[in-house]
Amino acid sequence: MKKKMTMLALTLTAALALTACGNQPASAAQTSAAAPTAAPAETPATAQTAAAGTVLLSVNPEIEMDYDDGGRVLALRACNADGQAVLNGYDGYTGRPCPEVAGELVGRINAGGYFDETIGGQEKNIVLKLEQGSAQPDATFLTEMEQAIRTTVERDGIGSRTVALDADDWDDTHAAEGYINAEAAQQLLAAQLGRSDLQFVERDYDLDDGDYEIAFVLDGVEYEYEVDARSGKVLEMEADTPDDLDDDWDDADDRYDDLDDDLDDVGENRTDDWDDDHDDDWDDADDWDDDLDDDLDDVGENRTDDWDDDHDDDWDDADDWDDDHDDDWDD
């Protein structure tokens, strides 16, 4: 019975650690209760200190950092399973400056392989978000955290960009949910792609699911990405590229090639010249869409689009082969 009660208590503690993440700085009692199980017991000095604010560190792991009015860490909380994995075995952070701890956490996130997955061909942003209701110890608080993270990024060869969000980036109409505003979401998206020339499509955002669905045009192609309104993470991408058009032209070209083969064996091939001329027309159209496809190869996530170009070239070579043999039959 005692063993079952102990297991229940541990389960409730873990649940509190993951659900306590939100938009308000934790109280002293919450700070103590929500600390990861791997964290050391707080010293009497920090245990009695109320949190002045909370900063969310988000990559894919999400970790909240409570700090006092001097910018020293009171407690860390994992907001998802990846965040808990990063915090497991990490101790000795209470009472230390937030920039130092933030830099160490980014190093642990990198060691866990969380930067391996890319978004838009780029390593994921590192987001520092000041939670609503938080007071900064001084005007350089977030800047110093950014600098500490940048030191880790340069040391470990991480390709990510760090974006800090403060009170100016809060969405006051969704204060209870702790959401960022649309301008901040667009800023995060531009940082994720490493481009400053995104032409955003104006729209009203429905945040019922907690995501900004942001559409924009880049190099003539329209994209749509999702940005988590609470954590600032860029989530996914859709693009209207001409790859489908490329496939359509190739299919049409193949159909004419098949018709060409059927007519090669008919009578004296009187109608064969007509279909050869039209086959050339389809080949020219296919070349046109290949050129357009090449222009878009380096946009967004189309870096793997070279594969389809290579195979498209293979089909064009096959088409040339059949044209050559067609000429032989015409002779």
- The pLDDT, as a whole number, for residue 11 is 44
Cα gap 228→96, rounded to integer Å: 30
Instruction: State both tokens at 58.
Output: 């988000």
Helix, strand, or coil (residue 199): strand
Q: Tokens 């040391």: give the residue.
A: 155
Q: How does DSSP classify residue 170?
A: B
Inter-residue contact 76 to 64 (CB < 8 Å): yes
Whether 182 and 206 have beta carbons less than 8 Å apart is answered as: no
Which pTM was predicted? 0.62
Q: Any idea how long the chain is?
A: 331
> Quick one: tokens of 194?
């490493």
Dist. CA 75–CA 33, nearest whole Å:
10
> What residues contact 136, with CB distance under 8 A and at least 6 apart?
53, 130, 142, 166
Q: In this structure, what token pair is assigned to residue 38?
A: 């791997």
Give yes or no for a contact between 305 and 292, defined as CB atoms under 8 angstroms apart: no
Contact call for residues 78 and 36 (beta carbons, < 8 A):
yes
At residue 137, the pLDDT reads 96
Please give the pLDDT value at position 279. Answer: 52
> How large is the C-alpha radius of gyration of the chain?
28
**At 238, which helix (H) or strand (E)?**
strand 234-240
Residue pLDDT tens, the chain, 331 long: 444 444 444 444 444 445 457 666 655 444 433 444 444 434 344 456 789 999 999 999 999 999 999 999 999 999 999 999 999 999 999 999 999 999 999 999 999 999 998 988 889 999 999 999 999 999 999 999 999 999 999 999 999 999 999 999 999 899 889 999 999 999 999 999 999 999 999 888 888 889 999 999 999 999 999 999 999 999 877 776 555 445 544 555 566 566 555 555 555 554 555 445 555 554 555 555 555 455 545 444 444 444 445 545 554 554 554 455 555 545 4
In contact, 21 and 37? CB cutoff 8 Å: no
- Helix or strand (DSSP H, E) at 65: strand 62-67
pLDDT recorded at residue 245: 45
Say how far apart CA 302 and CA 310 lie, in whole Å.
Answer: 14
